[in-house]
Amino acid sequence: MPGRENNAPANLVMSIPTSKPSPPSPNPLASQLRLFQRLAAGLTAALLVGAGAFFYVRHLGQPVTIFVNGKPAATVANRATANSLIAAAEQAKVGTAYATDDAKRMQSIVMLPAAANTPQETDSAVKSKLAVLLTLHLKAFVILVNGHPSVALPTPDAATDTLRIVKDHWAKLPPTAELEGEPQIVEEIAIEKRVVDTSLIRQDAASAAPYFWTPPPLKSYKVQRGDIGSRIARRNHISLTDLITANPNVNINRLKQGNVLNVRKMPRLLTVRVRKTMTTEEPVHPNAPAEQAGRQRVTYVVTYLNGQETRREAKEVTLLEKPLTRMDL
């Protein structure tokens, strides 16, 4: 209005108060996840440290004693060494021709911690000792003699080669002469895959064949007062049949004090029949004087059983010189 004084400032600016945006409220689920991750990482680290310490103490740093069937066998540096030596001893026992996967351990083996100052043997000594103490059964191809197991080999071909070598062995014995047919094994033979004690296994045919012609060394037992055959057999860990077989010239039912018996189990030997053709010159009448006996050439077929002559048959006879009779004298 004219005449009224305007007291308002000339450039009045309207100010609007401003405020900073409030931060978003924290997500409780994400916080819990981060906390869980930190806890899991710490737990994993602790487990790794503990497992490493446990592995070191149990496998690397702690000496152990190996017990075979509850009896201490040897003390070695750690569990890993013990396992390695046991595996090496088993492999040595079965040989390189067989896999230890086919072997079954017949004794219980336990490894217990030992004091740090317990005396330890060398690895080679422990391996040798375990090879003697351990008893293993192994799958192999067994040569059965009349149904009874003899030696065992890694393959059926090796078993067949063994039988061939045995027949050749007896065929080559003196006298040197032409063979009449093929050598024959008298016993009934079969080859089967069976589980046998490692004492019967052989690595190849060359090492198996001598089993059938090499009797084991004798193991003597002197009969005591009151002894009977079954008790003697049981005491020496063989069957009564084995005792009788090992002593063919002894009446087991009539033992006398002081008798000496062989108590070693005899192997299952083979009997090989060999027939040879031989030609000789001989008198027609062997009991006559030489000037009257005459001469003839005779071809024989001679039968041998394991090198011992058992039969002689005349195959062909040629008269070389007629024998003299009374009429000729």
What is the rounded CA–CA span in Å between residue 225 and residue 289?
Answer: 60
Topology of domain 216-266, CATH: Membrane-bound Lytic Murein Transglycosylase D; Chain A (3.10.350)
pLDDT at residue 271, rounded to an integer: 92
Coil vs helix vs strand at 23 = coil
pLDDT level of residue 32 (50, 70, 90 thresholds):
confident
CB of 285 within 8 A of CB of 292? yes
How do residues 253-301 score in pLDDT, each as one tens digit?
Answer: 889 999 999 888 777 789 999 999 999 999 999 888 888 889 999 999 9
Q: Where in the chain is the domain with CATH 3.10.350.10?
A: 216-266
pLDDT at residue 59, rounded to an integer: 47
pLDDT level of residue 82 (50, 70, 90 thresholds):
very high
- The residue-averaged pLDDT of 212-238 equals 88
What is the reported pTM?
Answer: 0.66
Structure token pair of residue 114: 């030992």
CA dist 310 → 186, 276, 304 (Å): 14, 12, 6
